[in-house]
A and B are shown apart, each in its own frame.
Chain A
Amino acid sequence: MSWAVVFFLTLGVAGQRLLGMFVAGPVLAKRPALRSVADLLPAAVVAAVILQLTVTTKGALTVDARLIGLAVAGVLVWRRAPLILVVLAAAAVTGLFRLLT
């Protein structure tokens, strides 16, 4: 991450928020089909980000302790555990597994 990245990400994120407030609000509200695609975008894209963070190392597919940490996180999210617990448990399990293997 660099200053340029901070600048352009700020533009990209704040721009979408302002578009949502002043442009998309009146327009999109009348189109339920488009709205549901937009509604589901975070699930699809964030799931891909999670997958890539979990099973790749510098671009190559790898299976390691991170997968176990994510599985534990999955169970905790499903049981509606608070974020702090999900995060700490995933880190602890992954760290412990590395320590033991």
Chain B
Amino acid sequence: MTLDGVKRSDLATLAFTFFALGVTVSAAMVERGVSSGVTLAGAVFILSATSQLAHLAVTDAGGSEIVGVLSGSLVATRFGLMAMSLSTRYEGSTLERAAAAVVSFDPNVALAMQEKTPEAVRRTFWWAIGSMLFGWILGTGVGLSLGDVMGDGGAWGLDAVFPAALLAIIGGLLRRRDGMLAALVGAGLCLALLPIAPGGVPILASALGAIVAALWSRQ
């Protein structure tokens, strides 16, 4: 069953995936006493679950808000890369291209890039992001109400949810040898620095893992 050339099952899976992510992130916010307004605004404007979780990781560890924002922005580098790949195939007015850039995620760009004509690229891109945002906002709403009911997330294993979701998000990169090396070096550096460096620094330092892995894969 297709809808304008895009598989309906793909769109449903995207909506469901982002629903789960929305619940996860907003429940984490509620658990930390963040207000509903800020949580909702974060979901609508930041448009990067990874950035929100990275910010939480830094501030949970006692890092400053500035380092938290830096780390949150650093983990969103991949969205810049997604927009970069999309720029080669997406045709439209400057305003439309800017709108597409702001909602560039891994799944919608990956799906759109597989299309042959500029028309199909645009259609697939917007159908995919529509499904993702639908699930994301719905999930945020559910998380906002569930977060209160859940109370102490630890008892529900809620604190294990964020790392698991992040692991699934970078799953594709971990299947590549250079991706796995980057992850191992990044995590290793972070672990080594955790007991001695101020909060946030271990996360920022992990970026070196990408340089090490890139140098290794050039040989």
A contact residues vs B (CB 8 Å cutoff): 1-6, 8-10, 12-14, 16-22, 24-26, 28-29, 33, 36-56, 58-59, 61, 65-66, 69-70, 72-74, 76-78, 80, 82-84, 86-87, 89-96, 98
Interface residues on B, range: 35 or more
Tell whether, in the assembled complex, residue A3 and residue B38 are in contact, meaning their CB atoms are under 8 Å apart.
Answer: yes
Which among A1, A13, A20, A25 has the highest number of chain B CB atoms within 10 Å?
A1
A47 and B157: CB pair below 8 A? Answer: no
Q: Which of A5, A13, A66, A95 contacts B156 (CB 8 A)?
A: A95
Tell me the smallest distance from the CB of B131 to a CB of chain A, in Å: 14
User: Nearest residue in A to B72 (C-beta to C-beta)?
Assistant: A9
> Which chain A positions have C-beta within 8 A of B17?
82-84
B134 within 8 A of A: no
CA distance A80 to B172 in the complex (A): 9
Contact A17 B104 (CB under 8 A): yes
> Are B194 and A52 touching (Cβ within 8 A)?
yes
**Contact of B158 (CB < 8 Å), options: A74, A86, A91:** A91
Q: Is the interface of A mostly helix, strand, loop or mixed?
A: helix
Name the segment of B122-130, B141-149, B208-216 touching the other chain: B208-216
Q: Which residue of A lies closest to B165 (CB)?
A: A87
**Chain A to chain B contacts (Cβ below 8 Å), 22 pairs:** A2-B65, A3-B38, A5-B68, A6-B45, A9-B55, A13-B46, A13-B73, A16-B80, A20-B83, A22-B97, A43-B182, A45-B71, A46-B183, A48-B203, A50-B167, A65-B157, A66-B163, A83-B17, A84-B17, A84-B20, A91-B160, A96-B157
Pick from B2-10, B56-64, B113-121 the stretch touching chain A: B56-64
What are the residues of chain A within 8 A of B29 when measuring CB–CB? 1
List 8 tightest A-B contacts by C-beta distance, closest first: A12-B73, A44-B186, A69-B160, A44-B209, A95-B157, A48-B206, A20-B83, A94-B157
With A and B bound together, what is the CA distance between A38 and B179 in angstroms?
11
Least CB distance, A83 to chain B, in whole angstroms: 5
State in angstroms the CA–CA spacing of A55 and B190 once bound together: 11
Chain B residue contacts of A45, Cβ below 8 A: 54, 71, 74-75, 77, 186, 203, 206-207, 209-210
Determine if A91 and B210 form an interchain contact, defined as CB atoms under 8 angstroms apart. no
Mask, B185-219, CB within 8 Å of A = 1, is: 11101110011000100110111111101100110
Of the candidates B87, B154, B166, B195, which one forms a contact with A49 in the assembled complex, judged by CB atoms under 8 Å apart? B166
A39 to B176, CA, bound (A): 12
> In the complex, which of the residues B32, B80, B154, B155 contacts A17, with contact meaning CB atoms closer than 8 Å?
B80
Q: How far is the CB of B84 from chain A (nearest CB, A)?
A: 4
Is A24 a contact of B80 with CB atoms below 8 Å?
Answer: yes
Closest Cβ–Cβ distance, residue B169 to chain A (whole Å): 7
Q: Is the CB of B84 within 8 A of A29?
A: yes
CB <8 Å contact, B98 and A21? yes
